[in-house]
Structure 1
């Protein structure tokens, strides 16, 4: 049986939203979308969002820092992809700049080089344009900077 989300009292919504925010870092946009699914009116929505912000359940800076660390360390995303995903979540440029400091430059480059070399060795194509294109496209999708990618491509082509 499907529960009717609009049947929740305001107190239950507060409790559910506290849990939702405590379970994992959330940004304002995600919380707002979740509240929308509860079919609350706009004044109640604003009241709940204000409560969550005042009680530090929603903190955009903390969310962005956690997002940056997670996406880089576990999904090996580059800065371009991370920035685009944060912008998509309506995170301000100031907060994005602060959050990107969570990735030490040495770690960023080390992860990039490991990922690039692994990808280069896994591409079954022989040397040539097809292999180069697959290599570049993969790293661009991951969000790495073009200058880094082409520098690494030159290095790998020279070495093979």
Structure 2
């Protein structure tokens, strides 16, 4: 979609079936590149990118029901549960069943997990420099991607 095109204007089909002309491939490639850029930064914290997203959500929300965490991250139970299990084994999270309803599980950061947040606070700034975008460009891009996600009806973090 051209940058000056309004979101309400439908995108016309690409004139080409070339891979590089496809918006879907650009989005896919960008997602992989961003994840790869995070890898060495997160290695210092001994976290994978999905684990980092879980920790961000828990740091932001405090104790959070597992179901709500899955919605925030757009992850189903089968994907989220092993992530949480590894983070709990690393001593960063605690999963606790609710006494009133044992089907409900709350996830919260441990003291070690909360301490990790301090070490992680420089990551957004570091990644901003790696992206090579101004703060305004980053906000515009994020907002455009969120609008696309909303139009597609796909959950986003």
Richer in helix (by share)? 1
Q: Normalising by the residue count of structure 1, what TM-score does the alignment of the two structures yield?
A: 0.32
Scaled by the length of structure 2, the TM-score of the pair is 0.32
Larger Rg belongs to: 1
